[in-house]
Amino acid sequence: MRRTLRRPALFAASAAALALVACGANGQDATQATAAGEPLETRPANAPDQRPAFEGQTRAPGVVSDVEVSHTVVASGLEHPWGLAQLPDGNWLVTERPGRMRVISASGQVGEPIQGVPAVVARGQGGLLDVALSPGFAQDRLVYWSFSEQREGGNATSVARGRLSDDMSRLENVEVVFRATPDYDGDKHFGSALAFDPGGRLFITLGDRSDAPMRPQAQDLGSHMGKVIRINADGSAPADNPFVGQDGALPEIWSLGHRNVQGAAMRGDQLWTIEHGTRGGDELNLTEAGQNYGWPIIAYGIEYRGGQINEGITAREGLEQPEYYWDPVIGPGGMVFYDGAMFPGWRGNALASGLRDKQLVRLVMDGDRVVGEERLLTDLGERIRDVAVASDGSVWVITDEDDGKLVRVTPG
């Protein structure tokens, strides 16, 4: 459902949709669970005078899972892991931001760094970022990954692919299939999540590079900054991309007006993304072709230094509203939609990693609307960077720490 100023919507979640059974899960006692209908978030907003564009756009009712949730640390000693993808044999590919990619077995054996990964700009928020398997991995063994790449004029996000050798020790025939432009000598807001759609096209999320001089490029169709990109597997632009043939527009652009998107997930043929706001204004978006998501013209929250963002407005005709936003923020990393066997009550829910408050966020969805929110793994006490669902239905997360961990989440 579109969320623009042109078509406001109101939604009142039914108590029946929210009345999940409290079982003392995720590090909180059942007696501490938020009552159905009451917002989970109770802290003051950074921008208390701002109002949501429609009912239910923020501060969803708190819910509690109908099963206990437990976690097991499978592997540790990782240096700021960033992305993970499950291999067909049940093992995991994990990236570390300084530039290493490893295979970690489901039992926790950490492999040596895989050879063949190109050099990365490992400073600030830059480095080796997301990783995804080709939809045809069983036949082609192709792996795709995003990284910050040194350029003549600075650096920017790139995406490469290579064949994972049969012994999983190296990447072969490595080629860069996408390079974001322009270059910029900065160390923030590289994005970058990867997600293949059902047709085998690759979505790439990019940040605006953070600094004030770069922000306006999120609205510039001649720049990749602050955009979601859609390419064919070989790096070419699909002919049906929304801006193909438009004068001055880069053909790879899918959507614009984003700040720093570090999470992306497909739900059927829908692309959903999650992005960082400033102090307030983290967003969950149903990200559609050709749409403008407003940054930095409209935004929830305030500047890090205090004060309003540009004109301080949160809505304008023709600019998309987020399906949901957080103020205060959660610091979102990766995300996934759950459709596994271990947590049948979570099916159709979104799971988002939370860096800021060190938690896994579960969002109960009713169509395109968020109608409930739960905070999980609060007792882990580490910045959760990415989340994935294994073939057996267990949930796996990685933690963005000096001593980063790979963690398996199962019913208690």
Catalytic machinery residues: 189
Residue 233's CB: how many other CB atoms inside 10 A? 18
Torsion over CA: 285, 289, 248, 312 (sign): negative
Helix (H/G/I), strand (E/B), else coil: 72: strand
Cα 161 → chain centroid? 20
Nearest-angstrom CA–CA distance, 253 and 246 = 11
CA distances from 162 to 97, 169, 175, 404 (A): 18, 12, 7, 25
Given strand 154-164, what is the order of strands in its sheet? 128-133, 142-151, 154-164, 171-179
If we measure between CA atoms, which residue out of 345, 351, 355 comes closest to residue 363?
Answer: 351
Q: How many residues does the chain have?
A: 412
* Cβ contact 295:303 at 8 Å: no
Distances (CA, A) of 15 to 37, 63, 237: 7, 11, 46
**Cross-strand pairs, 144:** 132, 161
- CB-based contacts of 84: which residues, under 8 Å, 6+ apart? 92, 93, 94, 95, 131, 386, 388, 396, 398, 406
Strands lying side by side in the sheet with 81-86: 81-86, 92-96, 100-104
